């Protein structure tokens, strides 16, 4: 098996460019800068692992994000340099040939390959809402996960169920970790995830030969350890109490905090504010829109994107009106009982 170093040299990637990438990667993975040479050495010697990428209930946004990374970048090359043996969206093969490639990779690299999954898995009604090559998604996932070294759930759908799981979830959509219980599962949520975060997680696995440190949601701490709000360049305005009231007022034009406009940055763990998108160009808040919280579980069902985080679902006028009517009725009944007791006492007295 050829190493990454061999293939990079053959592809014309200079040593300088490779080291630059490793330094950035070291920083991204929250490792001390002194680790950069060690990361470069480990990556250069890393063997190209076999990767099987399964796409289930998804919109292809995750693959789009991965492939539109200002191509060609070194991140792309790194991904090219894993042995990507099965990915429906990008592979040339189709039909039986494609399925054969997957079976072959699973057999050849049994216990060694990485399984990447984007999209949620429908389980309602025996999983009939998602089938591929005559096999349900849930069966295909279980079969493919059996021989995997680890499973990486790419995007919020694979990580948490995402949009397909949104109420009323007619297909019974589930996350990868709901189905795969006996393998290490790494969640890389986002709708879509940042390309460099996806490649960073793979690079971490290649460098250290093990999965990165994860948070309670199985997200790599290096990328999801802090909230958007923690690292947002608009944070000083939040602390000063300067908030944009509309998307086009003076505050918005002055770059003030978007909290009032529904920004979910304070409760959203992701690297958008530091890594940014499109080769570090910008991220949603920098472009003038609040964070949607897309890397958090059930973000689609957690209230309006345009209502401030401080608001909550308190029940609405109808529920409060009903509660008020019940309160008045109970109070009146209590007073009636008290009056009856008064009457009885005064009669007895």
Partner 1 sequence: MDLLTFVRGPGMQWAAAIFVVGILWRLVGILLLRGKKDLSEPRKPGWRGLRLLALRSWPRKEFLGGTAFGEIMGYTFHIGFFVALLFYLPHILFFEDVAKGLIGVNFKQVFGVGWPYLPGGAVYFFSAISVAALFAVLIHRIASPVKRMLSNFDDYFSWFVTIAPIATGMLAFSHFGGPYPTLLGLHLASVELLMIWFPFGKLMHAFTIFLARGTQGVTFERKGASL
What minimum distance in Å lies between the beta carbon of 242 and partner 1?
Answer: 9
Instruction: Show the DSSP H helices in the chain as ranges.
Output: 4-10, 15-28, 36-45, 61-67, 74-81, 95-108, 137-146, 155-160, 176-179, 195-208, 221-224, 228-231, 235-240, 250-253, 272-275, 316-348
What minimum distance in Å lies between the beta carbon of 271 and partner 1?
Answer: 15
> Tokens 């008064």 — which residue?
342
What minimum distance in Å lies between the beta carbon of 85 and partner 1?
Answer: 36
Instruction: Considering the complex, state which of residue 118 and residue 260 has its C-beta at the smaller distance from partner 1.
Output: 260
> Both tokens of residue 136?
């349900």
Query: What angle (nearest 5°) sits at the alpha carbon of residue 318, between those of residues 314 and 322?
Result: 100
Helix, strand, or coil (residue 220): strand
What minimum distance in Å lies between the beta carbon of 295 and partner 1?
Answer: 12
Instruction: Considering the complex, state which of residue 18 and residue 259 has its C-beta at the smaller distance from partner 1.
Output: 259
Give dist(CA 118, CA 176) in Å, integer.
9
Instruction: Considering the complex, state which of residue 44 and residue 232 has its C-beta at the smaller distance from partner 1.
Output: 232
Instruction: Considering the complex, state which of residue 132 and residue 267 has its C-beta at the smaller distance from partner 1.
Output: 267
What minimum distance in Å lies between the beta carbon of 222 and partner 1?
Answer: 16
- Residues forming the site for partner 1 (CB under 8 A): 227, 229-230, 238-241, 243, 245, 259-260, 266-267, 269, 297-298, 302-303, 307-317, 319-320, 322-324, 326-328, 330-332, 334-336, 338-339, 342
On the question of a cis peptide bond just before residue 256, with omega within 30 degrees of 0, the verdict is no
Instruction: Considering the complex, state which of residue 17 and residue 308 has its C-beta at the smaller distance from partner 1.
Output: 308
């Amino acid at each position: 098996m050829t190493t990454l170093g061999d293939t990079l040299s053959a592809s014309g990637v200079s040593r300088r460019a490779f080291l630059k990438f490793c330094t950035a990667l070291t920083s991204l993975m929250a490792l001390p800068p002194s680790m950069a040479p060690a990361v470069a050495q480990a990556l250069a010697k890393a063997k190209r692992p076999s990767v099987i990428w399964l796409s289930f209930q998804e919109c292809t946004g995750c693959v789009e994000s991965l492939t539109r990374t200002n191509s060609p970048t070194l991140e792309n090359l790194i991904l090219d340099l894993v042995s990507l043996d099965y990915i429906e969206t990008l592979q040339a093969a189709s039909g039986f040939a494609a399925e054969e490639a997957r079976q072959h990779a699973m057999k050849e690299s049994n216990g060694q390959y990485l399984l990447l999954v984007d999209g949620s898995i429908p389980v309602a009604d025996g999983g009939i809402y998602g089938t591929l090559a005559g096999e349900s998604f849930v069966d295909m996932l279980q079969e493919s996960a059996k021989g995997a070294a680890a499973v990486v759930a790419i995007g919020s759908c694979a990580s948490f169920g995402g949009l397909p799981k949104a109420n009323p979830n007619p297909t019974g959509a589930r996350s990868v970790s709901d189905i795969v219980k006996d393998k290490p599962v790494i969640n890389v949520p986002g709708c879509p995830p940042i390309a460099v975060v996806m490649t960073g997680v793979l690079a971490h696995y290649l460098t250290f030969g093990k999965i990165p440190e994860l948070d309670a949601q199985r997200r790599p701490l290096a990328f999801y350890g802090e909230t958007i709000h923690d690292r947002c360049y608009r944070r000083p305005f939040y602390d000063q109490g300067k908030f944009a009231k509309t998307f086009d007022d003076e505050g918005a034009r002055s770059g003030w905090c978007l909290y009032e406009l529904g920004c979910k940055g304070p409760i959203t763990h992701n690297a958008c504010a530091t890594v940014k998108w499109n080769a570090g160009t910008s991220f949603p808040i920098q472009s003038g829109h609040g964070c949607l919280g897309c890397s958090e579980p059930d973000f689609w069902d957690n209230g309006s994107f345009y209502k401030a985080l401080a608001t909550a679902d308190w029940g609405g006028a109808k529920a409060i009106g009903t509660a008020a009517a019940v309160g008045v009725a109970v109070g009146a009944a209590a007073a009636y009982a008290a009056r009856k007791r008064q009457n009885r006492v005064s009669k007895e007295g």
